[in-house]
Structures are given as C-alpha cells and as structure tokens.
C-alpha cells in the first residue's frame, strides 16, 4: 500500500510540474565530504551504498585535502563532513568541530608490486630511513617516499621507536627525496616506481585496489583480525568531523556509516568499526 501510494504521489507531482513547466523530479540533496586521503576510497564506497537506499541524495567525495585541510574546509562551510586521521584540536573544537571515531585500520608499509620483499622490521626501517640501507636484497635501489612532517602518517611512523623517529628526521633532511603531499600521491609513486617504499593504510590499499605489496611488520601480516587481537600493533583512526549546522542529509549519511550495513562495508575494506569494539566491552 505504501509503495503504491509513493508511486501515485510521484506521478501526480510529475503531471503538476509539467503543467507549470517545472522539472519533473525533485532536486537531489548533496552531501559533500572530504579530507584525509586514506579514507576517501572507503567513504566513496559507503556513499554509493547510501545512495542506493537514499535515491534522493548524492554523496560527493572531493579530492584529498588532508585532515587539517578537511577540517578547515568544514569550518568554512565548504564541506558537510570532514574525514580525518585525528580528532580536532582545541582550536578546531572551539570553532565548532565535533568528532565521531568510526573505525581503525592497520597502518602499513607498502612497496612496488614487482618488488620481491615480504616484510620489514624496526631495525630495517631505521637503516632505510637513515640512509644506511640504499638497496633491496635483489639490488634494486630503495626509493623512499616521504610524507609531510605534520602528517598523521609521519607521526605514527615516528611513534614506532625513538631510533626510527631519529632516522625519519635524518631522511627529512636529505636532498633529492621523493615527497608526497597526499595519500593518493604517495600510493601513485609506489605503483610506478621500482624499489619504492611508503607508508599507507590497509583500507586505502583495499578500497582503491592499489597495485602494491603490503609488507609484514616485525613478522606480522597486517589484518583487521590482528588489529583486534593485538598481534598487529600499528593503526590509524578514521574520524568523521561535523558541526552544529550539519544538514539532515549529512546526518543520515553518518547514521548509515554507523549502521550494521556501514560496519560490514568498513570491515570488508580493511577497517575495524569502533561501534563493534565498544559493543564488546
């Protein structure tokens, strides 16, 4: 009965609109979302699923802005939702930013897909970043891809160990290094550059179908299961940032991401939904 009623109303609106010379369909609502590059792929997939169940709403994912850039765009009114790898800082919170942590994803090391390397250790990372190791075992030149000093991925990399952090500082001072501003630029470099090594996340590699090799870290293969049971130690949080002026369409999209269907999509593409973690406590 309800389905038939909706069809009748839609047909009646079309006839009425045509009689006035108006478009026969209601304008679609748009949810504009952007920010940290590593989350763009899975959010795009979530948006496509949301659109199928909400045909009157369009989710538009803008190119990578970074966490800070996404939050700034949100506060300036250019975005409805920001994606971030960190929670808003005090100044951003005072400006109206509010966070929802939706998931965690393994923080990973990736190399060019043709490179025959399966894993990396703390000591190997230290030697690569401080310039002591210049070649892979097969003789291919190591091409290190660096991220900005303030990027969340660089901070996570530094947190591995003091010696690794010191090596990163040295790498940042070297001339001629490959430097990528966004997560997408970094992955692009690795895909096309023999011997390239960079940091990434499991969700980016999975959701973007990246042609790279994900390395084991200290003998442990990155996985959502390993993140849950604690065997894999490195992770990146995924936040949605909103403000008090959030639109009804954006609020519905956030609710969809937090739903059981949203959680299934997040898990399928390399994330551990925070809502499940809280439910198990």
Phi-psi region of 202 (alpha: psi -120 to 50; beta: other; left: phi over 0): alpha
pLDDT at 17: 46
pLDDT at 240: 97
Domains of the chain plus CATH, in order, are: 26-104+236-279 (3.40.190.10), 106-229 (3.40.190.10)
pTM assigned to the model: 0.86
The rounded percent of the chain whose pLDDT value lies above 70 is 88
For the stretch 196-210, pLDDT in tens is: 999 999 999 999 999
Question: Residue 104: pLDDT above 60?
Answer: yes
Least confidently predicted of 8-12, 71-75, 277-281: 8-12
Question: Residue 125: pLDDT above 80?
Answer: yes
Identify the three-state secondary structure at position 61: strand
Cβ–Cβ contacts within 10 Å for residue 134, how many? 11
The whole-angstrom separation of Cα 5 and Cα 2 is 5
Identify the three-state secondary structure at position 48: helix
Nearby residues of 146 by Cβ (< 8 Å), 6 or more positions away = 154, 171, 172, 177, 178, 179, 180
Whose tokens are 């530094």? That residue is: 158
For the stretch 133-187, pLDDT in tens is: 999 999 999 999 999 999 999 999 999 999 999 999 999 999 989 999 999 999 9
Whose tokens are 């399966």? That residue is: 118
């Amino acid at each position: 009965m309800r389905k038939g009623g909706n069809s009748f109303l839609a047909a009646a609106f079309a006839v009425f609109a045509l009689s006035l010379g108006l478009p026969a369909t209601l304008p679609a609502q748009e949810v504009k979302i952007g920010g940290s590059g590593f989350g763009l792929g899975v959010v795009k997939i979530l948006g496509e699923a949301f659109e199928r169940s909400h045909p009157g709403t369009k989710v538009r994912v803008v190119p990578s802005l970074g966490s800070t850039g996404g939050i700034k765009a949100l506060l300036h009114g250019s975005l409805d939702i920001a994606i971030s790898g960190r929670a808003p800082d005090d100044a951003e919170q005072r400006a109206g930013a509010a966070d929802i942590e939706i998931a965690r994803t393994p923080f990973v090391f990736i190399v060019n897909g043709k490179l025959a390397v399966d894993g990396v250790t703390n000591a190997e990372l230290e030697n690569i970043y401080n310039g002591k190791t210049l070649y892979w075992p097969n003789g291919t030149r190591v091409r290190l891809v660096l991220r900005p000093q303030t990027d969340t991925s660089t901070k996570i990399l530094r947190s591995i160990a003091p010696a690794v952090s010191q090596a990163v500082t040295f790498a940042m001072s070297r001339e001629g290094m490959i430097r990528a501003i966004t997560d997408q630029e970094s992955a692009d470099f690795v895909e096309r550059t023999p011997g390239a090594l960079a940091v990434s996340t499991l969700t980016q590699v999975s959701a973007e179908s990246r042609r790279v090799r994900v390395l084991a870290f200290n003998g442990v293969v990155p996985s959502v299961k390993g993140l849950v049971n604690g065997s894999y130690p490195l992770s990146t949080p995924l936040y949605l940032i909103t403000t008090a002026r959030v639109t009804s369409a954006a609020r519905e999209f956030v609710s969809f991401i937090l739903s059981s269907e949203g959680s299934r999509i997040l898990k399928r593409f390399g994330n551990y939904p925070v809502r499940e973690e809280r439910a198990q406590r």
